[in-house]
A and B are shown apart, each in its own frame.
Chain A
Amino acid sequence: MKIAISSDGSNLNAKVGDKFGTSQYLVIVDLESGEFEAVPNPGASGQRGAGMQAVVLAISKDIKTVLTGYCSPAAYNHLKANGIEVLTDLSGTVGEMVEKYKKGELEAEMRAGTGPKSRGIKVDKSALVQATGSSARQFIALLPMLLGVVLLIGLFNAFVSKQFLASIFSGNVALDTLWGACFGSILSGSPINSYVIGGELLKYGISLFAVTAFIITWVTVGLVQMPAEIAALGRRFALLRNGLSFILAIPIAIITVLILNLIGS
């Protein structure tokens, strides 16, 4: 059975790290063999999603228990969902915590209410509150960009003439669809923005072929995220996936509109 302890250093004398997601190392101890390894915490840089990277590491190393100073509610829930126990509010050296854990003292202290309490447990009591909270955060994160897009469309409506757009989108189905796919590939973000922009473009007389290709490539092709995709999944994969997604967007857009026309909408 393996346990992971967030740590400031790479040995058993190092102090237990304050935060699971961003501590320098995760020291992984095999309780049966007594062997340990210190793995640099992928979330140590503290970027967004740091906690998630540490969670992924814990899952991939088949950890049964995590010992740490503090674990964010989101990381706590992901760990629990994957059957990993989390003990928090710990301080001292890694070695001391391992010994206490082996003797069952940490869990005994938690049960007696005299020792460390998992801050995550409070959150776990109300999954609905947790879900509402994370939904609110996701929703609020969407709003500034959406508001910006709506303001931009307002400017567009007031200042840009239909003649200008007509000069870009000629009315040629193949060419317009290609243009739509190109614009969608360059721009990115939540799909909701592509719906709003696409809906307004329709009012300008841009064909549904072009708007559909735009909506599809908005999500499926990501020139902006390409460096991140290359880093995670390799250059060949990223280039092929984005290239194929771009090509695929054109027939999907054309067939969608043709079917729609056939059923008479």
Chain B
Amino acid sequence: MILFPAAMVVIYGVLFVVMPDKTSLALKSSGNIFLNMLMPLGLVFVLMIFLNLLLKPTQIARFLGKGAGIKGILLPAAAGIVSTGPIYVWYPLLKDLREKGAGNSPIGIFLYNRAVKPFLLPVMIAYFGWEYVVILTALTVLGSIALGYSLSNLMEGDNSL
């Protein structure tokens, strides 16, 4: 994870020697992008604290095994939206829930809704405007239902897992 930013610093170092003018321009441009992000990033941090205070991964994961019908859609969707952290932290929990009988549809819905991240919305709004964010968020949630339905049908009768 540190490799990529470190590589960037090395590339900048080399370019400064070869093309100092253009590289200064690149650094200035990066500085401006970063400055514009400071305010949304501050909000991101506050929202992160709020979510961490209210929710624990294991509590969220329990939503996935519960409910049928509309609840079987809304609970995993909500769990996906409020889930935080990298995806590999969630795989063991999902595997365990699958073994306990959670269906393919809720797991698919959960994974799709991870694209909606309330604590990152300030940054998204700063770049694309709130109308765009509202439309994309609503369509992502609706899309996840279509995904869950298709996944559940296509996986039917498969016992190889």
Interface residues of A (CB under 8 A from B): 42, 48-49, 52-53, 55-56, 59-60, 77-78, 81-82, 127-128, 130-132, 134-136, 138-139, 141, 144-145, 147-148, 150-155, 157-159, 190-192, 195-196, 198-200, 202, 208, 212, 215-216, 218-220, 222, 225, 228-229, 231-234, 236-237, 240-241, 244-245, 248, 252, 255-256, 259-260, 263, 265
Distance of A148 Cα from B135 Cα, bound (Å): 29
- Hey, which chain B residues are within 8 Å of A152, CB to CB? 8
- Hey, which chain B residues are within 8 Å of A198, CB to CB? 127-128
Contact A147 B5 (CB under 8 A): yes
A-B contact pairs, 19 of them (CB 8 A): A52-B93, A138-B52, A148-B8, A150-B30, A151-B26, A151-B30, A158-B26, A191-B115, A196-B127, A228-B91, A231-B91, A236-B158, A236-B160, A240-B154, A244-B150, A245-B147, A248-B147, A256-B132, A259-B135
Is B146 at the interface (CB under 8 A from chain A)?
A: yes
- Hey, which chain A residues are within 8 Å of B34, CB to CB? 147, 150
Q: Contacts A49-B88, A77-B56, A81-B56; is A155 near B45 (CB within 8 Å)? A: no
Other 16 A-B pairs with CB < 8 A, given A81-B58, A195-B123, A244-B147: A42-B92, A48-B89, A78-B58, A135-B48, A150-B34, A154-B31, A191-B115, A191-B124, A196-B37, A200-B33, A220-B114, A237-B104, A244-B150, A244-B154, A255-B139, A256-B139
B85 → chain A closest CB, angstroms: 7
- Hey, which chain B residues are within 8 Å of A236, CB to CB? 155, 158, 160-161
B50 → chain A closest CB, angstroms: 8
Contact B91 A232 (CB under 8 A): yes
Distance of A52 Cα from B15 Cα, bound (Å): 43
Is B68 at the interface (CB under 8 A from chain A)?
A: no
Majority secondary structure, A binding face? helix
Q: Contacts A151-B5, A154-B27, A157-B29; is A232 near B49 (CB within 8 Å)? A: no
Contact A220 B111 (CB under 8 A): yes
- Hey, which chain B residues are within 8 Å of A195, CB to CB? 120, 123-124, 127-128
Our count of residue pairs bridging A and B at CB distance below 8 angstroms stands at 204
Q: Map CB proximity to A onto B69-82 as digits: 1 under 8 Å, 0 otherwise.
A: 00000000000000
Distance of A255 Cα from B139 Cα, bound (Å): 8
Interface residues of B (CB under 8 A from A): 1-2, 4-5, 7-9, 11-12, 15, 22-23, 25-31, 33-34, 37, 44-45, 48-50, 52-53, 56-59, 84-85, 87-89, 91-96, 98-100, 104, 107-108, 111-112, 114-115, 117, 120, 123-124, 127-129, 131-132, 135-136, 139-140, 143, 146-147, 150-151, 154-155, 158, 160-161
Contact A260 B115 (CB under 8 A): no
Q: Contacts A42-B92, A56-B96, A236-B155; is A135 near B56 (CB within 8 Å)? A: no
Contact B147 A241 (CB under 8 A): yes
A262 → chain B closest CB, angstroms: 10
Contact A138 B139 (CB under 8 A): no
Contact B30 A232 (CB under 8 A): no
- Hey, which chain A residues are within 8 Å of B111, CB to CB? 220, 241
Contact A155 B11 (CB under 8 A): yes
Contact A78 B57 (CB under 8 A): yes
Nearest to B49 among chain A residues (CB) is A135
- Hey, which chain B residues are within 8 Å of A219, CB to CB? 114-115
Contact B91 A265 (CB under 8 A): no
Residue in A59, A132, A232, A255 whose Cβ sees the most chain B Cβ within 10 Å: A232
Q: Contacts A144-B5, A151-B8, A151-B30; is A131 near B95 (CB within 8 Å)? A: no
Contact B33 A153 (CB under 8 A): yes
Contact A135 B108 (CB under 8 A): no
Residue in A130, A219, A236 whose Cβ sees the most chain B Cβ within 10 Å: A219
Which of A59, A191, A225, A240 has a CB less than 8 Å from the CB of B88?
A225
